[in-house]
Amino acid sequence: MTEKGSGGCQCLSVGRSRRESAVQKTIIGMSHAIRGSLFSERVANRPGLLQETDPRVKTVGLLGLLVATSFLHNWYIILALYGLTLVMAFASRISLKFFVKRVWLFIPVFAGIIALPSLFNIVRPGDPLFTIWDFSGEVTLGPWSLGTSLAVTHQGLKGAVVLILRVATSVSLAVLWALTTHWADLLKALRVFMVPRIFVLILSMTYRYIFLILGLATDMFTARTSRLVGSSSPREDRRFVASSMATLLGKSHALSEDVYSAMISRGYTGEPLTLHRFRTGMGDWLWLGAIIFLGAAALGSDRFIG
């Protein structure tokens, strides 16, 4: 996870392409990913509240709160849960400035942008909160009627606030979970949800091979960039990207055959084994108890307030 919001790709980025070709952008993106993984392992090593909680208990608690968040209707309660994530981040020695930046850029901001049209009465009907433009009379566009005024609706604003807060809280919980847990422990903790061993094995192998293949790809792209004099057309670049994907596919396939042979020759039978033994302590159960209490309180008061 990188320091700027890597929560989504800037898939169509206009304007910077004069300086950076697609190939260069890919190299930068990939090196960010590698750096991000190192950073996340550093956070997981800090002596904070969540880092010291048993990974299985932590998974149940945080994902339980995530499910609870999806059931809440009242935005005050969602905001309170968001506050709880800030408290937990602070207690886990995560810099709040980093945490807020990491969560809000870019998914909740994006949610706000997506929800923007729904604020207006022409998109989603509702009681006007404040009118922007009063058409004198009804305006029609063919068979569609735009009504008599353009206004921001009460319901639109409320819906947008609920959406943004819920998205932000959900992302906060997910980030807390992933940042404070070592990847290997996280996968093992999934077994608590009865995820079959074979899937956990595939997940852990995939994680390792992502970095290997990222390295292969970065090498290919760097090799090309360093042999390029001047600039290349998008068409040439596209053909290069496609041919590197094809080459990568072939290399990956050959690699898998080698890996399989290596595993068989070292006694692989299909059962994954890990070194780290999980142990729960009093602190874990106290934490889980507090989380369950707070989650139930949130759901209950949400029901009550309505």
Partner 1 sequence: MGTGLRGKMHIPDGYLSPQTAGGMWAMMVPAWYWAGHKVKSTLSSRQAPLVAIGAAFTFVIMMFNIPLPGGTTGHAVGGTIIAIVIGPWAAVIAISVALVIQAIFFGDGGILAIGANSFNIGFILPITGYFTYKLLAKGAAPESSRRWIAAGIGAWVGLNVAAFFTSVEFGLQGELFTAADGSALYSPYGLATAIPAMMVPHMLVVGTIEAVMTSLIYVFMMKSNPGLLDNYDNLNAQAIGSYKLKPLIIGIVLLLVCAPLGLLATGTAWGEWGTEEIGNEIGYVPEGMERFAGHWEGFMPEYAFPQSEETVAVEGGGAGSGEVTKVAVEESAAEEEAPVSLDGVGESTPAYLISGVLGLLLVVGVALMTIRMITGKPRSKEQLG
Residues in region 231-290 near partner 1 by CB under 8 A: 234, 237-239, 241-250, 252-253, 255-256, 259-260, 263, 270
Q: How far is the CB of 131 from partner 1 (least distance, A)?
A: 18
Q: Which is nearer to partner 1, 227 or 279 (CB)?
A: 227
Q: Which is nearer to partner 1, 96 or 136 (CB)?
A: 96
Q: Which is nearer to partner 1, 131 or 261 (CB)?
A: 261
Stretch that binds partner 1, among 112-120, 128-136, 277-285, 291-299 (CB under 8 A): 112-120
- d(Cα 66, Cα 270) in Å, to the nearest integer? 33
Q: How far is the CB of 153 from partner 1 (least distance, A)?
A: 8
* Contacts of the segment 194-201: beta carbons below 8 A, 24+ positions apart: 197/271, 197/272, 198/270, 200/272, 201/270, 201/272
**Contacting partner 1 within 115-134 (CB under 8 A):** 115-118, 123-126
The alpha-helical segments, DSSP class H, found in the chain are 22-45, 55-71, 75-91, 96-104, 107-115, 154-179, 183-190, 197-226, 234-265, 282-305
Residues near partner 1 (CB under 8 A), total:
99
Q: How many angstroms separate the Cα of 300 from the Cα of each of 35, 68, 247?
A: 42, 10, 56
**Contacting partner 1 within 19-78 (CB under 8 A):** 21-23, 25-26, 29-30, 33, 36-37, 40, 63, 66-67, 69-71, 73
- d(Cα 247, Cα 249) in Å, to the nearest integer? 5
Angle at which helices 282-305 and 75-91 pack, to 10 degrees? 160
Q: Which of 80, 109, 139, 213 binds partner 1 (CB under 8 A)?
A: 213
Q: Which is nearer to partner 1, 14 or 136 (CB)?
A: 14
Backbone angles phi, psi at 140, to 5 degrees: -125, 145
- d(Cα 67, Cα 89) in Å, to the nearest integer? 19
Q: How far is the CB of 296 from partner 1 (least distance, A)?
A: 16
Q: Which is nearer to partner 1, 11 or 275 (CB)?
A: 11
Q: Which of 148, 155, 222, 301 binds partner 1 (CB under 8 A)?
A: 155
